[in-house]
Structure formats: C-alpha cells, structure tokens
Structure 1
C-alpha cells in the first residue's frame, strides 16, 4: 500500500521549570510525523519554536499538507525543495529516514554511509536563576563531566552566576549559553568572567540580528553560533564572527541538511557542536548519529522531562547510548 502520513501534537511536562533568557516553561509541546506503509513505520519528532515564528498547530498543518505527496512517493531529496528549513521539515525528514531504514532492514547509519553510532557524553543543562540557586544546581550536578550554564539575565548578574556555578562544580567542564541575552556593552565583561570561570565555549552571546560586533571583539574563548546558524545558506555569514556552530535538527530541517551542514562547517574551519530543543528521545535519536565526532554534544532534552516516551534513549549519568530500532533508525 502507498505510505500514509499522519501527525499529532504531544505534550511533555518538564521536571520543575526550565528557564533561559527568553523566559520559563513547564511543558514542552512537540509534533510527531508518522509514515506507515502497511508493514513498516517511520517516525520523526520536532519542537516548534516561537523564536522562529513556529507554533505546534502551524507546524502540524505544514506536515499534514504533504500527506498526498508522501502517499505519491515524495522522498527526502524532494522534501528539501518542498519545505524550508524548520521544525516541520525536520519531523518529516527524520520519519522518511526511519521508514527507509526499516524497509531496507538496515540502520540509518548504513543508509547514510556512516559508521554505527557509539555512546556519547552529553552536556547537562543548568537553568537560569539566581547565583545562589545556580550554585546549588551545580552542586547537585557536580559529578557530571560537562555542564551547560544558561545565562543572559538582564540584571547584569551573569559574572556572579558563573562564579557561583564554578564554586558548586569545581571540576566540571563548563559551557555557557546566553540565548542572545547579552549586549555589546556587556560582551567583554561577560567573556572575561567566562574565561575566569574556565568556561570552554560560549553560545550565542548577542542577538542573531545584532552580532556584527563579534567580528572585532576579543574572544578569549571560542564563541558558538546557535540562533544565528540554521542551514548551509547562512554559513558564510558566520565566518569571522564565530568559532563554532551549534547544529540542531529543528533549525536545519532534518538530518539530511544537518549532515551536509556539519561537513560544510568543518570545511570552513568551524568547530561542530550538536544540540537540541527540549523534546523527547524521539527527537534526540537522529541527532545521536549527527553527533558522532562532534566536539561538543548537548542532547540532554529527555533528562529534563518529567517522563520520556516508550523505548527512550538510555542515559547512564551523562553517557547516552544510541537508539534502538524500536525508537528510531
């Protein structure tokens, strides 16, 4: 039978609250695309992101609009031309990879011509909060080898937050994510504070539409593009401003473009980080394949949820294991 596409909106409660420079959330809303052909099923999950003008209902509509095309045999190559980079294309692209692998009886890694994935060490995220709260959160997570520190508060306390986190986790490697929350005036001070706290990477310190100052700024530690980086079309604009790029499947529009972007970024001299939006293990699974060989891996989304889906990824502390075929791939 021809493949049949369906989609659904799912809601995942967060364990507590998750706070970044743009605000707090207590629930994650994702969209799942599912393609079945009577024998095999392929799935993909995306996280519609308001920062990029996406809503769950809008993304679901984009996916549903391609039901007839999927039934007619739309493949991954054609999908890249039908939809722009973003959450809807990500869910469909990953569902098509999953379906193709299950039809062929091989892994997605084999289909992509890549080695089978190995376990990885992922960062573990500390939400933005008061210096005291972040110190305690760091103490609770101090045994983890890599901590990602959310900063970007408007009250100018980020140096104090960093010092508190370093006090709470004296031996952990720290990376920082400002989520566009710094200003050009505060950039130098905050980067010095990062260097003093032995931070090894800073993500997106300035707004994506106002990051030109990075080209002339002294960067005592590597600066990584996140909101400024989506797909290969914008790669040239990052050169000279950033030292690294955070590749997320919801920004690239799926694994197909993400793999190509990783190759292009490395060829351009950028360090590759692989990150995620908050979502369940189904959204992380394709990124595990992408993350093989990445300098920094940040795929802790399911660890921050109150519950994960059936057959979710296995985490042993900060070590994460590749997905089983029952989940994806």
Structure 2
C-alpha cells in the first residue's frame, strides 16, 4: 500500500481591495492548502471554506484530519468521494490527489481526466457590490468584455444601468447571491436586453426558488447556492437555465466534472465558477472550464500577492496552469 505524507495549512491572503456581496464584505482570502508527498513527488490542492454553509478554516482542517489515516494510507479519488462529504475539505484533498497522480504518472491532469487539451478561456471579471457610481468606475477599469456585477437586496437595476453606461461594449452577468426580491427580478428582466445583460445568477435564496418556475422575461437564470453536486442537477433543470459549478462546493474536481457532464446531459448551460482565492485554487477550475459555456475565474486578480508561478491573465482571458503550479 502506498504511503503518503499529508500537510495541511490555513492561509490568509490580503486582497487588493474589499470584496463585497449581498451577504457581507471580505478583505482577505481564507483558504486551506493540502500537500500530499509520495515517492519524491508532491501534489497540492487548495480550497475556500464557505461560510454560507457553516465552514471555517478550522472546521475544514478538522474534517481533513479526521480522514488523515485513509489519505496517507493511499485512498483513491474514487474512494474519497464516499469517505468525505462534498465541500471545501474534500475539495482540497481531491485536487491534491489529482496533482499527485499527474506528478507520479508524468501525465497532465487533463489527459487523466479525459478532457480536451486546455486552451485560454474568457473569464468574467467581478465588479464588487457598491453604489452605482463606484461600480461604474470599477467597470471602466476592468479588463475584458465579460463583467459580473454583484447585486444587493435593492437597487440592482440602477447598478446594472450604471455599469452598462460605463461599459456599453461589455456583456453583463448579474449575481444576486440570493438577495433579489421578486419585484426586483421582474424589473431587471424587463430591461435586460437593452442593458447588455446575458445572465442572472441565483436571484432567490436556495430552497425558495420555486418562483423561478414562472419567472418573468426571457433572461437566462443560473443556479449557484442552490447547486452542490451532480445529484442536484435534475432539480436544478426544472427551475434554471444554467448552473455555476464550483469545486469548493462540489468537493473537488472529480465531482465538479461529474456535475458539469450531468448538467450538459440535462440541457443546462454550465459556468465554471470560483471563490475569491489564488491560482492554486483556480487551476483545476480552468480545466473544468474547458467543458463549460462560461467561466468566472478571476479570483487571483483580487489578491494582493498570488502564489509563485500563478495563472496568466490577459485582456479578460486566463491561460491553463503549467505543471509547476498544478496538474
């Protein structure tokens, strides 16, 4: 049986500027990193504990520690899916196992996973929640032509109008993070076509999104907080047009790939999404994005300092990771 050595580290990375959504504001990216060493090779994985689901860096570390014996004893990625529940803890271990397998086999993860050879992908660039004038100014400075606007519980239409006025060339995604009212969604939907809006993400709270069965307007709606694993896809397909697949929620690249493929089979659009984190967290998601219709992978752009050998971002596109970084 293979013997591995596992190291777990909590990391707090300062951001360039505060990042605000409807649930609050953060000034640091809090992540948990796992390093697995075996036969002179090392695989790394990193994830973001998601406070929305009660996760903290400490709780994630404790969950990983509880599986230490199995992980160091050589657990496979397949067995890991049953041993650990979906979430940030399993994500960090799963991604480290993918990276370790790539290092030991000499094959890149994209080949091991049966993915197409990765190419640069367009990524949305997030405009943090603020007053309309602040968001318009941020939009003028943002690279690329796909912008993702964070919305609050009210004033969403004014924010979208301000950003569209500042960047009429850009396609816009409105991300409510469960914060919109039915009236606000209706108002936004009626004017969406004239404002460059192509998608609204998670307008209502998870578990309270049945109203989307009779939603107003023709604008596409994407699930985020309502979707976790491939088992959610059939329910999501009843109410949404697309799903945001995030490794941190799904529990790693293994489940995220299954989720994306199930979504495609159900006729849903797929967005490869992220939390605010650096390039090590983002690298597996760039491979997932090869299967997606859209990507929101700008997390490293928010960090004051990224990891060494981080992902390359150019004019709204992110390039695939090199083997030095991950996979």
TM norm structure 1? 0.96
Q: 1:193 to 1:15 in 2, by over 3 A?
A: farther
Q: Equivalent residue for 2:67?
A: 66
Q: Secondary structure at the match of 2:7?
A: strand
RMSD over equivalenced CA pairs, Å: 1.2
Distance 1:109 1:244 in 2: 24
Q: Equivalent residue for 2:130?
A: 129
Q: Equivalent residue for 1:83?
A: 84
Q: Equivalent residue for 2:275?
A: 277
Shift of 1:237: 1.3
CA contact (8 A) 2:201 2:222 kept: yes
Distance 1:39 1:184 in 2: 56
Q: How does 1:305-324 map to 2 (within 5 A)?
A: 305-324=303-322
Distance 1:192 1:23 in 2: 28
Q: Equivalent residue for 2:19?
A: 18
Distance 1:191 1:87 in 2: 33
Shift of 1:38: 4.2
Distance 2:58 2:190 in 1: 42
CA contact (8 A) 2:170 2:196 kept: no
CA contact (8 A) 2:115 2:290 kept: no
Q: Equivalent residue for 1:237?
A: 235
CA contact (8 A) 2:156 2:188 kept: yes
| Residues paired across the two proteins, number | 326
Distance 1:205 1:88 in 2: 27
Matched, 1:42 2:43: yes
Shift of 1:172: 0.8
Q: Equivalent residue for 2:262?
A: 264
Shift of 1:37: 1.2
TM norm structure 2? 0.97
Shift of 1:214: 0.2
Distance 1:90 1:71 in 2: 16
Distance 2:253 2:109 in 1: 10
CA contact (8 A) 2:260 2:291 kept: no
CA contact (8 A) 1:162 1:194 kept: no
Distance 1:212 1:282 in 2: 36
